[in-house]
Structure 1
Amino acid sequence: MNRPGFDNSKYLETQSAHIRQRISQFGNKLYLEFGGKLFDDYHASRVLPGFEPDSKIRMLKELRDSAEIVIAICASDIEKNKVRGDLGITYDVDVLRLIDAFRAQGLYVGSVVVTQYAGQAAADAFKKRLEELGVRVYLHYPITGYPHNIALIVSDEGYGKNQYIETSRPLVVVTAPGPGSGKMAVCLSQLYHEYRRGVKAGYAKFETFPIWNLPLQHPVNLAYEAATADLGDVNMIDPFHLQAYGETTVNYNRDVEIFPVLSAIFEKITGECPYKSPTDMGVNMVGCCIFDDSAVCDAARQEIVRRYYSALSDRRQGQTGDETVYKLELLMQQAKVSADIRPVIAASLQVADETGNPAGAIELPDGEIVTGKTTDLMGASSATLLNALKRLAHIDHEKHLISPEAIAPIQAVKVDHLGSANPRLHSDEVLIALAISAATDPLAARALEQLSRLRGCEAHSSVILSPVDSVTYGKLGMHLTCEPQYETNKLYHR
């Protein structure tokens, strides 16, 4: 288990204070482009142990009285039914989820803006659906030559054609279901319209990674490159900041490449650019809240290895190519790390080799490794999970917490009535069966009470797990990796 290295309370305090300062800098009207995941930033919580996954939304709640949310979604993403890989839902459905989630936190969602709108029928249908639900919707249009044709962009035929988004609060947080939704363009379009109305608004960017005040080759920044290996993002020294201030800071290639264009757009809109570098635009204070650099370095190295194994599995399933794997191998070299830092890998492979069947391993909070093997009743991931709960509850390994006689009817339902070819219980089914046993068996109840202690534990499987098993491990907060091998030689896998 990772030892803490990040002060979350300090982060909430300093981050909200820094954003308030930036709001006042621009005359009490700031458009804040908010990248990354707001509600569930598990990458940050893994590489910065102590960072809570919902920290960013908690920070925004500190500003709730002065903040409103604008959600951007690209019309072509609606038309293509683009899916969020982590949630398995389309971007348009995720907009509805985000609105509900923001409202549940007491945050005001002012509107949705459909970007790159060119008459797409799916976008029209989505707009109508939102308006029927009482959500205001605005349309922004494609601009020929964007982002380099500045004369056209900053004109009545460019930003001027976009519908002006009515906002009522000093801080306007522009977010989106995913990258490429047009958040920056929405912010700059609003600046154009605000200045035409005599309002001297400002723009800033919130991105957690890379962390600007950590070294370029710091493991946390390398872990960010690992997380975005399939996107081609590259961390680099901000040359504009170095020239302006003589200070070395870190940014990533897309922000550095676009900065001259952005600066020119600012000058065209406001008469001058308020920033001298991409780093200046940011408001991220994460790097100021690390109190144990060694702890976050260790956590980040683990994340790089996990990302590598994830890419190997994705390649095996045809979801990515060699280039992503090669980049991650290079990042592992740069971070001076190998798979040896994950003892669960060797442990699971040893059991798999001994039994000739899939096996799993979980590293418990005290560093002990628990393994599990495939049986007639359970898959390896289920057996490993149950063994880990037994060990945490100090229950003898040979003790049956779920009666084999109780499992048999479950298997019969799966095979005879639900059409499953695999009678073995998946991880979620084992947990449900354990919960039923807990009603009458104190030992089963004691094992069930240990579930929360699995959060943050490392786990490995000798084969690619089924989606239901990997999702269950994820919901329990375990950090799972898998060997890039299927359990069988079939061509179709579920």
Structure 2
Amino acid sequence: MKKIGFDPQKYIDEQSKFILERVNDYDKLYLEFGGKLIGDKHAMRVLPGFDEDAKIKLLQKLRDKAEILMCVYAGDIERNKIRGDYGITYDKDILRQIDEFRGYGLEVNSVVITRYSGQPSTKLFINKLERRDIKVYKHAAIEDYPSNIDKIVSDEGFGKNPYIPTTKPIVVVTAPGPGSGKLATCLNQLYHESHQGREAGYSKFETFPVWNVPLKHPLNIAYEAATVDLKDVNMIDSFHLDYYDKLAVNYNRDVETFPVIKRMIEKITGKETVYHSPTDMGVNRVGFGITDDDAITEASKQEIIRRCFATECDFKKGLLDEDALNRIKLIMEEVELKKEDRLAVTPARDYALRLKAQNNISDMMPAVIALELNDGRIVTGRTSDLMDPCAAAILNAIKTLANISDDILLLSPVILQTIQDMKRNELHDKMTALTANEVLIALSISAVTNPTAQLAYEKISELTDVQAHSTVMLNDYDEQTLRKLGMDITCDPVYPSDNLYYI
């Protein structure tokens, strides 16, 4: 059973109080949100007990005082940059997030296209937004940003980009991912607010690294593991240490850019800033929600292992360079972790090796998935002509949870064969093995008339937080299905076949 180590309500209460205290210092506060506002799976994994939607619920609590600006870099739209956890492009994620924000009763002011220079795909995206009555503002790249402060803070810099009218005292600036121009948008607004005689401030809400947790705590190292592609490195905030004589943890980009940002804000406002360190600029209180350090430590170590597998798979797919691969290996050594410390790994590999020996397979590794259930039991599933390993493992898991004998068939072979025939003959699908999604739909239909299937169907919710490992890399479709069920999947960096497209 997963140990809880975090109090989400204490966190929300502490965080909202701190933000409101910061707002009181200004006519308006521009709050740059790093990380994910909705569905923060990383925080949920390393802080067991954390509500993955805690930040959006926090904003919902402040909705009478807050509105949202969304930023996206035009270059990310042009190259169809993918948000990995949802498998969708950044432009589609903007649309998804707007729907989500509206569902929470939050006002989305507009979308800001940053570093825009007339890119064709971005133009089409702007048209799509404007024809759905969503305001769009275009900010051009500023030459020599952020080094040439005199030029940036002038009519030739921020002055060239339009001001975005806002009405609430808190303006949340968010984006689909890093490098989207959130900071520049905040500073651009501060420039225009100052010219209009209003006192506006800037703060940053970045959950990780956790500033009041030790530098080498696995919780903070897990953040480095999550950002190996960005080459982020945690470090002691030297500015905080010099001014307050207190240790605080930040990361290299914030520490390196702090002097420039500080001078820029001072030039915009015409007075000395109240911030003496990048930690001062932050409003993150997540560390105060920790209730069990041992639980956090263990969860963070498991996340590091999970990130190691993910990095190796992305390297195999050509999505990451060798520097990222070497970095994650060093992190694993630093925390003295092995991949086999993830409990589902060895059973999956052992079963695959047995199948390989039994069937005299010499080259490809058999596709096997092992699931570590929440009660500690291990269940496996393998690929077959009828089902892929995800479908087999899930069926075996819910039968185990429902105490249904392995000999009992939950689904009629006739029904499964009919679905498979339709895929092959009517849909002309080259991959006819039934997927987890297809088998779950078949199970839900069978549950209407079959009491045993109904018993198994009722156990699907218990797959949440189940840990899974596959001996081969899964396709995006299967990974998304497992994520929707709330399962955490890792994969060995092995292709399931020699096919280049159909995997």
Alignment TM-score, normalising by the size of structure 1: 0.97
Partners of 1:197 and 1:348 in 2: CA distance: 63
SS at match of 1:25: coil
Q: For 2:328 and 2:80, how far apart are their aligned partners in 1?
A: 29
| Alignment match, 1:276 | 276
CA contact (8 A) 1:427 1:468 kept: no
Q: What is the CA-CA distance between 1:244 and the residue it aligns to?
A: 0.7
User: Is 1:241 aligned to 2:240, yes or no?
Assistant: yes
- Match of 2:142, SS? coil
| Aligned equivalents of 1:413, 1:122: Cα separation in 2 | 37
Provide, for residues 468-493 of structure 1, a one-character-per-residue CA deviation record: whole Å limited to 9, x for no partner. 22221111111101111122233444
- What's the CA shift string for 1:438-489, capped at 9, x where partnerless? 1111111111111111111111111112322222111111110111112223
Shifted more, 192-201 versus 297-306: the winner is 192-201
Mapping of residues 306-325 of structure 1, within 5 Å: 306-325=306-325
Quick one: structure 1 residues 316 and 128, their matched pair in 2 at CA, closer, same or farther if it must change by over 3 Å?
A: closer
Match of 2:15 in 1: 15
Closer, same or farther in 2 for the Cα pair 1:397/1:214, shift >3 Å? same
Q: Distance in 2 between matches of 1:201 and 1:158?
A: 19
Q: Using the aligned pairs only, state the percent identity.
A: 52
Match for residue 442 of structure 1 among 442, 451, 454: 451
Distance 2:30 2:393 in 1: 48
Inter-partner Cα distance in structure 2 for 1:18 and 1:471: 36
Q: What CA deviation, in whole Å up to 9, does each residue of 1:196-218 have, x standing for no partner?
A: 11111100000111111111111
For the Cα contact (< 8 Å) 2:86–2:480, is it kept in 1?
A: no
Which amino acid counterpart does residue 118 of structure 1 have in structure 2? S
* Per-residue CA distance 1:220-270 (angstroms, 9 max, x = gap): 111111111111111111111010111111111111110010111112112
Letter in 1 for 2:148: N
1:117 maps onto 2:116 in alignment: yes
Amino acid at match of 1:219: P
Aligned to 2:138: 139
Which digits, 9 at most, give the CA deviation of each residue in 1:129-168, with x for residues without a partner? 3333222222222211110100101111111111111010
1:458 and 2:467 matched: yes
- For 2:226, the aligned partner's letter is A
Cα pair 1:363 1:369 within 8 Å, conserved: yes
**What SS is found at the alignment partner of 1:17?**
helix
1:272 Cα deviation after fit: 1.1
Segments of 5+ residues of structure 2 without an aligned counterpart are: 357-365
Given candidates 413, 418, 424, the residue that maps to 1:415 is: 424
Q: What secondary structure does 1:421 align onto?
A: coil
- CA RMSD, 1 decimal: 1.5
Q: Is the 8 A contact 2:382 2:392 kept in 1?
A: yes
> 1:8 deviation in Å?
0.4
440, 452, 460: which one aligns with 1:431: 440
Match in the other structure for 1:159: 158
Q: Is the 8 A contact 2:74 2:115 kept in 1?
A: yes
Q: Residue 2 of structure 1 contacts residue 299 of structure 1 at CA under 8 Å; is this kept in 2? A: no
Q: How does 1:348-363 map to 2 (within 5 A)?
A: 348-356=348-356, 357-363=366-372
Q: Which residue of 2 aligns with 1:472?
A: 481
After TM superposition, the structure 1 stretch with the greater mean CA deviation from structure 2, 325-334 or 74-83, is 74-83
Q: 1:258 is aligned with what amino acid? A: T
Q: Secondary structure at the match of 1:65?
A: coil
CA distance 1:470–1:122, change in 2 (3 Å): closer
Which residue among 406, 429, 433 is the counterpart of 1:397?
Answer: 406
Is contact 2:209-2:234 (8 Å) kept? yes
Q: Is residue 2:259 matched to residue 1:250?
A: no
Bigger Cα displacement from structure 2, 124-133 vs 373-382: 124-133
- Are residues 222 and 139 of structure 1, via their aligned partners in 2, closer, same or farther at CA, if it must alter by over 3 Å? same
CA–CA distance in 2 between the matches of 1:29 and 1:466? 46
- Contact kept? 1:217, 1:334, Cα under 8 Å: no
| 78-87 or 350-359: bigger deviation | 78-87
| CA contact 2:87–2:476 (8 Å) conserved in 1 | no
Q: Distance in 2 between matches of 1:318 and 1:464?
A: 14
3-state secondary structure, aligned to 2:344: helix
Alpha-carbon distance between aligned partners in 2 of 1:463 and 1:122, rounded to the nearest angstrom: 35
Distance (whole Å) between structure 1 residues aligned to residue 122 and residue 431 of structure 2: 42
Question: Which secondary structure does the structure 2 equivalent of 1:311 belong to?
Answer: helix
C-alpha change, 1:389 and 1:234, in structure 2 (3 Å) is same
Amino acid at match of 2:69: V
User: Alpha-carbon deviation of 1:182?
Assistant: 0.7
| Alignment-mate amino acid for residue 91 of structure 2 | D
**Partner amino acid, structure 2, of 1:468:** Y
What is the alpha-carbon distance in structure 2 between the residues aligned to residue 306 and residue 291 of structure 1?
Answer: 23
Aligned-partner Cα distance in 2 for 1:417–1:368: 40
In 2, Cα distance between the equivalents of 1:374 and 1:438?
A: 24
Q: 2:83 matched to 1:84?
A: yes
> Which of 486, 489, 492 is residue 498 of structure 2 equivalent to?
489
Report the TM-score, using the length of structure 2 for normalisation.
0.95
Matches within 5 A, 1:66-77: 66-77=65-76
- The residue that corresponds to 1:373 in the other structure is 382
8 A Cα contact 1:360 1:380, kept in partner? yes
Letter in 2 for 1:358: A
2:198 maps to which residue?
A: 199
Q: CA shift at 1:314, angstroms?
A: 1.7
Contact 1:112 1:137 in 2 (8 A): yes
Query: CA-to-partner distance for each residue in 1:87-119, whole Å, 9 max, x for gaps?
Result: 333322322222222111100111222222233
Distance in 2 between residues matched to 1:470 and 1:115, nearest whole Å: 31
Q: Which residue of 2 aligns with 1:260?
A: 259
Question: Following superposition, which runs of at least 4 residues in structure 1 exceed 4 angstroms of deviation?
Answer: none
Matched residue count: 493
Please, which moves more after superposition, 449-458 or 127-136?
127-136
* Matched residue SS, 1:394: coil
Q: What is the CA-CA distance between 1:374 and the residue it aligns to?
A: 2.9
Find the aligned partners of 2:497 and 2:130 in 1 and give their Cα distance: 49
Q: What secondary structure sits across from 1:343 in the alignment?
A: coil
Residue 165 of structure 2 aligns to a residue in which SS?
coil
Which one-letter code corresponds to 2:60 in the other structure? Answer: K
Which residue number corresponds to residue 290 of structure 2? 290
- d(CA) in 2 for partners of 1:118 and 1:379? 46
Q: Which amino acid aligns with 2:408?
A: K
CA offset at residue 181 of structure 1?
1.2
